[in-house]
Chain A
Amino acid sequence: MWTWFYRLASPPYVYRVAATLAPWFLTAAALAIGYGVIGGLVFAPPDYQQGDAFRIIYVHAPSGWMSMFAYTTMSIAGAIGLIWRIKMGHAVAAATAPIGASFTLLALVTGSLWGRPMWGTYWAWDPRLTSELILLFLYVGVMSLRPAFEDPGRGDRAAALLSIVGVVNVPIIHYSVVWWNSLHQGATVAKLGKPSMPGSMLWPLLSMFLGFTCFYGAVLCLRLRGEVLNRERQANWVREAVKS
């Protein structure tokens, strides 16, 4: 029953699986993002208050979601590497960190571009914005801790521990709009009950969420291949894989 789990600990297997999965993820991402972009930017009606400016949500909300999803993935992968001493867990964590940091930056930038016409300012020290910024700093911390050690194994474990400590921030980001009086709007989609959005706006948005997640999966697979090759560069199978 656990054999699939154990096989994931083997670098050549992960290297092959990532190669098989990447095109599937990429195709799914292209389809979902394609539908989302056309549906969201062309067919969805303008918002009754925000006009066409609301359309940035089709990039902003999925990037925000990905920033937290990637962080959680990184922590779980790091924990797997830390607890079971599975090197591939650390490889996944290392491959994820820059992707997650990019999504966090994208969420912050698109949010502030939207904030200028809507709130009258690019930046406000609002709980949601602040906690998302802390997330970016945490990514930077994890990414700078890993290469700081001369012994890569030690760097991996230190980075994993730091990412596990930082995971407390993820629920804070999610609930920041509920716990504090926030300028940022509350949950629109990810809540119990009916979403506060008509279907013509909602479906493209959900498709963008799916598309961004698949895109992350695709980039992760590609980066993971590079990471595995770099980590296993002394191994025989890498020499053969590179030669053929």
Chain B
Amino acid sequence: MRLTATHVGTWRAMFLVIHRELRLSFRRPEQLLQPLVFFLIVTTLFPLGLSLQLSLLRDMAPGVLWVAALLASLLSLDSLFKSDADDGTLEQLALSGQSLTVIVIAKTFAHWLVSGAALVLVSPVVATALGIPVEAFATMLLSLALGTMTLSWLGAIGAGLTVGLRRGNVLLSLIVLPLAIPLLIFGAGATDRAISGISAAGALYFLASLCVFTCTLAPFAATAALRIALD
């Protein structure tokens, strides 16, 4: 078989990587579902462990929801570059002639689609169980979407740094969680305000700006981290 080099544009390359990632994730649906089930279980633990009073539960609901969402997203972060690094795909991608940053962006975005966006879709179920009123759903969904996306960008740095390590999972959480604290504060804050019926615009703008900030700079940091691992 003769291999011919064809020129692939940046957008096309991005699309191809996203397509590949999505196809790989749907081939292994259990990996897709596990973080979601984890999210559901953790949020069930809180009402059972604390109290079954719905009024009390409602006060804690934003925090519980957000902490569970952060932990669930962290679970799936480990696999962001790991399997590709293990079987050498990552090296091939790095040598492909495409900018590694573009590939990192595509991979991270695809990862968000199957982890973060899926979490956002499940969150109304959890929110109902925690007694969050339907009027607050729009704010909650938007804040979770922005928050999980920012976490994916931050997580890409952490995953890139720990990709060469055999037991990098705990270290990954140790690195990413401190950086994710602002997300928790403003995300839970936005949801909390929406539950009380106050405008949550300030916190949402802040989350959106964090998302823009991380998605402009984090891919470069993650690329640098991967280059260290690939060296």
Task: Please report the C-alpha to C-alpha distance between residue A105 and residue B73 in the assembled complex, in whole angstroms.
Answer: 30
Task: Please report the C-alpha to C-alpha distance between residue A148 and residue B168 in the assembled complex, in whole angstroms.
Answer: 8
| A186: Cβ under 8 A from any B Cβ | no
Which B119-166 residues have C-beta < 8 A from chain A? 157, 161-162, 164-165
The stretch of B36-44, B86-94, B109-117, B220-228 that contacts the partner chain:
B220-228
Which B177-231 residues have C-beta < 8 A from chain A? 177-179, 181, 185, 221, 224-225, 228-229, 231
CB proximity of A63 to chain B, nearest CB, Å: 20
Q: Is the CB of B179 within 8 A of A161?
A: no
CB proximity of B173 to chain A, nearest CB, Å: 10
Residues of the A chain whose Cβ atoms lie less than 8 Å from the Cβ of B178: 134, 137-138, 141, 166
Which A119-141 residues have C-beta < 8 A from chain B? 130, 134, 137-138, 140-141
| B174: Cβ under 8 A from any A Cβ | yes
What residue in chain B is nearest A136 (Cβ atoms)?
B178
Q: Residues 140-166 of chain A: 1 if any B CB is under 8 Å from the residue's CB, otherwise 0?
A: 110011001100001001100110111
What residue in chain B is nearest A135 (Cβ atoms)?
B178
CB proximity of B132 to chain A, nearest CB, Å: 22
Residues of the A chain whose Cβ atoms lie less than 8 Å from the Cβ of B225: 158, 161
What residue in chain A is nearest B167 (Cβ atoms)?
A148
Residues of the A chain whose Cβ atoms lie less than 8 Å from the Cβ of B228: 154, 157-158, 161
What residue in chain B is nearest A159 (Cβ atoms)?
B161
CB proximity of A129 to chain B, nearest CB, Å: 12
CB proximity of A50 to chain B, nearest CB, Å: 29
CB proximity of A139 to chain B, nearest CB, Å: 10
Q: Is the CB of A161 within 8 A of B224?
A: yes
Q: Is the CB of A149 within 8 A of B221?
A: no
CB proximity of B207 to chain A, nearest CB, Å: 16
Q: Is the CB of B224 within 8 A of A154?
A: no
The binding surface of chain B is classed by DSSP as helix
CB proximity of A22 to chain B, nearest CB, Å: 32
| B102: Cβ under 8 A from any A Cβ | no
CB proximity of A137 to chain B, nearest CB, Å: 4
A interface residues, how many (CB within 8 angstroms): 18
B interface residues, how many (CB within 8 angstroms): 20
Q: Is the CB of B161 within 8 A of A158?
A: yes
Q: Is the CB of B221 within 8 A of A145?
A: no
Q: Which of B175, B181, B229, B231 contacts A141 (CB 8 A)?
A: B175
Residues of the B chain whose Cβ atoms lie less than 8 Å from the Cβ of A164: 221
| B8: Cβ under 8 A from any A Cβ | no
Task: Please report the C-alpha to C-alpha distance between residue A154 and residue B225 in the assembled complex, in whole angstroms.
Answer: 10
Q: Is the CB of A134 within 8 A of B181?
A: yes
Task: Please report the C-alpha to C-alpha distance between residue A138 and residue B228 in the assembled complex, in whole angstroms.
Answer: 20
Residues of the A chain whose Cβ atoms lie less than 8 Å from the Cβ of B179: 134, 138, 165-166
| B16: Cβ under 8 A from any A Cβ | no
Known: A149-B165, A154-B164, A165-B157. A141 touches B224 (CB 8 A): no
Which of B177, B185, B224 neighbours the largest number of chain A CB atoms within 10 Å of its CB?
Answer: B224
Q: Which of B157, B164, B175 contacts A149 (CB 8 A)?
A: B164
Task: Please report the C-alpha to C-alpha distance between residue A237 and residue B171 in the assembled complex, in whole angstroms.
Answer: 36
Residues of the A chain whose Cβ atoms lie less than 8 Å from the Cβ of B175: 141, 145, 162
Task: Please report the C-alpha to C-alpha distance between residue A83 and residue B225 in the assembled complex, in whole angstroms.
Answer: 13
Which of B177, B178, B221, B231 neighbours the largest number of chain A CB atoms within 10 Å of its CB?
Answer: B178
Nearest 8 pairs of A and B residues by beta carbon: A137-B178, A141-B175, A157-B228, A134-B178, A158-B161, A141-B174, A165-B221, A148-B165
Which residues from chain A sit less than 8 Å from chain B, CB to CB?
Answer: 130, 134, 137-138, 140-141, 144-145, 148-149, 154, 157-158, 161-162, 164-166
Known: A137-B178, A148-B171, A165-B221. 7 other contacts (CB 8 A): A130-B181, A158-B229, A161-B221, A162-B161, A164-B221, A165-B179, A166-B178
Which residues from chain B sit less than 8 Å from chain A, CB to CB?
Answer: 157, 161-162, 164-165, 168, 171, 174-175, 177-179, 181, 185, 221, 224-225, 228-229, 231
In the assembled complex, 18 residue pairs joining A and B whose CB atoms fall closer than 8 Å, in A order, are A130-B185, A134-B179, A137-B178, A138-B178, A140-B174, A141-B174, A144-B174, A145-B162, A145-B175, A148-B168, A158-B229, A161-B161, A161-B221, A161-B225, A162-B157, A165-B157, A165-B179, A166-B179
